[in-house]
């Protein structure tokens, strides 16, 4: 009885030890033998996962294909329940011109033959400057401008960024000469692009673009946003 028990015990120890070694893999990126594949790979469809090879089974049709789908057209992201934020983030009502399809890559946009840039003249900045939010808005504006615009427009907004200095780009305006533009037109140009400037609507959301509109005003008038500035009174 005792011997039988010992034999069973030794066989079990050998079996477990062998299993432990067999399940190891020399490739440091491999998870080794998967006893419970569901725990390694979620059976739910997730974005950014290559479903071309799941649990060792290859599916050539799905391999290297994007699993994240483009949302159905007209889908509106959820921005919470604050009505001012929701109103600000609603899809932009102004349309791109038909010419912008090829010049500015507006392949999926709703296009119009009208020149909506002219209509945008009347659009006001819905992101109002207040003494409470001003500091944050200008700080965020500076970060967004440095990351997305300064290489062309220059850190001082005078149209002399490194891309222009290097000779790669020409025709970048000095903001100081653009005081005749309305907030709505500045927004439109950043959103859809203008001339040699590309569209930024896939890079920046509406709040970010309106923040940049305030930041550009600061280049044009250092008092912008302070009580001394007539423009600040106009904006509020």
Residues of this chain that interact with ligand HEC (CB under 6 A) are 148-149, 151-153, 163, 169, 171-173, 178, 181, 185-186, 189-190, 194-197, 200, 212, 216
Residue showing tokens 């038909």: 98
Q: What separation, in Å, do the N-terminal and C-terminal C-alpha atoms of the chain show? A: 94
Q: Least distance (Å) from ligand HEC to the CB of residue 97?
A: 13
Alpha-carbon span 23 to 27, nearest angstrom: 12
d(CA 197, CA 223): 28
CB of 126 to ligand HEC, least distance (A): 17
| CB 94 within 8 Å of CB 121 | no
Here the tokens at position 210 are: 């309106």
| Residue in the shown chain whose Cβ atom is closest to ligand HEC | 195
- Pick the closer one to ligand HEC by CB: 82 or 118: 118
Output the six-digit token pair for 1.
């009885």
Alpha helices in 23-133 (DSSP H): 37-40, 83-89, 100-103, 116-119
Closer CB to ligand HEC, 109 or 141, in the complex: 141
Nearest to 183 by CA among 152, 210, 151: 210
Q: Which is nearer to ligand HEC, 134 or 163 (CB)?
A: 163
In this complex, which beta carbon is closest to ligand HEC, that of residue 101 or of residue 151?
Answer: 151
Question: Closest approach of Cβ 88 to ligand HEC, in Å?
Answer: 18
Helix, coil or strand: residue 4: helix
Nearer to ligand HEC, 10 or 177 (CB): 177
Nearest distance from C-beta of residue 130 to ligand HEC, angstroms = 22
Long-range contacts of 222-228 (CB under 8 A, 24+ apart): 225/129, 225/134, 225/138
We find the least distance from the C-beta atom of residue 151 to ligand HEC, in angstroms, to be 6
Of 153 and 218, nearer to ligand HEC (C-beta) is: 153
What's the min distance (Å) between Cβ of 59 and ligand HEC? 41
Pairing of strands 53-54, 57-58: antiparallel
- Looking at the Cβ atoms of 100 and 149, the one nearer to ligand HEC is 149
| Neighbouring residues of 99: CB distance < 8 A, sequence distance ≥ 6 | none
CB of 101 to ligand HEC, least distance (A): 17
């Amino acid at each position: 009885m005792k011997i039988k028990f010992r034999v069973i015990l030794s066989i079990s120890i050998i079996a477990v030890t062998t299993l432990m070694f067999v399940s190891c893999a020399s490739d440091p990126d491999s998870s080794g033998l998967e006893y419970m594949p569901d725990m390694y790979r979620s059976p739910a469809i997730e974005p950014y996962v290559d479903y071309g090879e799941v649990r060792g089974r290859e599916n050539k049709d799905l391999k290297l294909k994007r699993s994240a789908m483009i949302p159905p057209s007209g889908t509106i992201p959820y921005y919470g329940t604050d009505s001012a934020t929701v109103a600000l983030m609603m899809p932009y009502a102004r349309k791109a011109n038909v010419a912008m399809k090829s010049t500015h890559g507006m392949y999926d946009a709703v296009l119009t033959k009208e020149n909506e840039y002219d209509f945008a003249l009347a659009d006001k900045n819905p992101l109002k400057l207040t003494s409470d939010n001003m500091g944050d808005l200008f700080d965020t504006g500076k970060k967004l401008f440095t990351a997305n615009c300064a290489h062309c427009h220059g850190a001082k907004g005078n149209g002399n960024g490194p891309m222009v200095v290097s000779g790669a780009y020409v025709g970048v305006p000095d903001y100081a000469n653009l005081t005749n533009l309305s907030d709505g037109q500045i927004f439109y140009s950043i959103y859809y692009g203008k001339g040699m400037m590309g569209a930024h609507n896939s890079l920046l959301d509406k709040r970010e673009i309106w923040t940049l509109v305030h930041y550009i005003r600061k280049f044009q008038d250092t008092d912008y946003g302070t009580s001394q500035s007539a423009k600040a009174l106009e904006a509020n």
